[in-house]
Amino acid sequence: MTKVDAAQAVAQPAWRGAFGRLWSAAVLSSFGDALRTAALPLLAASLTDDPLLIASVTACGYLPWIVFGLLGGAVADRVDQRRAMGAVDAVRALLVGAFAVAVALGHASIGLLIALAFALTTLQTLFDNAATALLPALVDREALGSANTRLMTGQRVAGGLVGAPVVPVLIAAGAAVPFAADAVTFLLAAVLVASLRTAAPPRPPRPAGSTLRREIAEGLRVLRRDRALRALCTATALCNVGMGALIATLVVLVTGRLHTGPGGYAAATTAYTVGSLAGGAVNRPLVARLGRTRAVLLAGLTQIAALLVIGTVRDLAALVAAMAVFGLMGMVWNVNTTTLMQQRSPEGLLGRVSAAFRTLAVAGAPLGALLGGAVAAAWGPNTPALLAAAFFVLSVCALTPVRAQPEVGTGEGEVTSHQSTG
In the chain, where the domains are located: 6-200+210-403
Residue 206 has a pLDDT of 58
Task: Give the model's confidence band at 384: pLDDT under 50 very low, under 70 low, under 90 confident, else very high.
Answer: very high
Helix pair angle (51-76, 110-138), 10° resolution: 30
pLDDT (mean) for 395-422: 52
Taking the CA of residue 111 as centre, how many other CA atoms within 13 Å lie in the half-sphere pointing to its CB? 1
- Tell whether the model's pLDDT for residue 238 goes beyond 90: yes
* Higher-pLDDT residue of 18, 323: 323
Tell me what pLDDT residue 76 has. Answer: 73
What are the C-alpha distances in Å from 167 to residues 117, 174, 272?
Answer: 18, 10, 16
Share of the chain above pLDDT 90, in %: 18
pLDDT band of 416, cuts 50, 70, 90: very low
Residues 240 and 364: their CA atoms lie apart, in Å, by 5
Q: Taking the CB of residue 422, how many other CB atoms lie within 10 A of it?
A: 21
> What is 323-374 written as a DSSP string?
HHHHHHHHHHHHHHHHHHHHHHSPTT-HHHHHHHHHHHHHTHHHHHHHHHHH
| CA–CA gap between residue 336 and residue 180 (Å, rounded) | 34
Structure confidence at residue 421 (pLDDT): 34
Tell me: pLDDT of 409 over 50: no
Residue 326: the pLDDT is: 96
| pLDDT (tens digit per residue) in 109-153 | 888 888 888 888 888 878 877 777 777 777 777 777 788 888 888
Q: How confident is the model at residue 404 (pLDDT cuts 50, 70, 90)?
A: low
Q: What is the average pLDDT score of the chain? A: 79
- pLDDT band, very low/low/confident/very high, at 166 (cuts 50, 70, 90): confident
- What's the whole-number mean pLDDT along residues 78-84? 78
Calpha distance 34→37 (Å, rounded): 5
CB atoms within 10 A of CB 52: 18
Task: Average the pLDDT over 391-412 and give the result.
Answer: 69
Q: How many CB atoms lie within 10 A of CB 264?
A: 18
Provide the pLDDT confidence category of residue 422 given band limits of 50, 70 and 90: very low
107-125 as b/e, with b when 16 or more CB fall inside 10 Å? Answer: ebebeebbebbbbbbbbbb
Read off the DSSP letter of residue 204: P
The architecture of the domain spanning 6-200+210-403 is Up-down Bundle (1.20)
Tell which wins on pLDDT, 385 or 81: 385
Taking the C-alpha atoms of residue 415 and residue 422, their distance in angstroms, rounded to an integer, is 24
pLDDT of 37 higher than 80: no
pLDDT in tens, 183-204: 998 999 888 888 877 655 555 5
User: Residue 420 above 70 pLDDT?
Assistant: no
**Confidence band for 107, pLDDT divided at 50, 70 and 90:** confident
Segment 269-283 shows an average pLDDT of 86
Q: How far apart are CA 178 and CA 304, in angstroms?
A: 33
Query: What is the average per-residue pLDDT within 84-104?
Result: 90
- Res 378 pLDDT > 60: yes
pLDDT of 14? 63
pLDDT-derived band at 306 (thresholds 50, 70, 90) equals very high
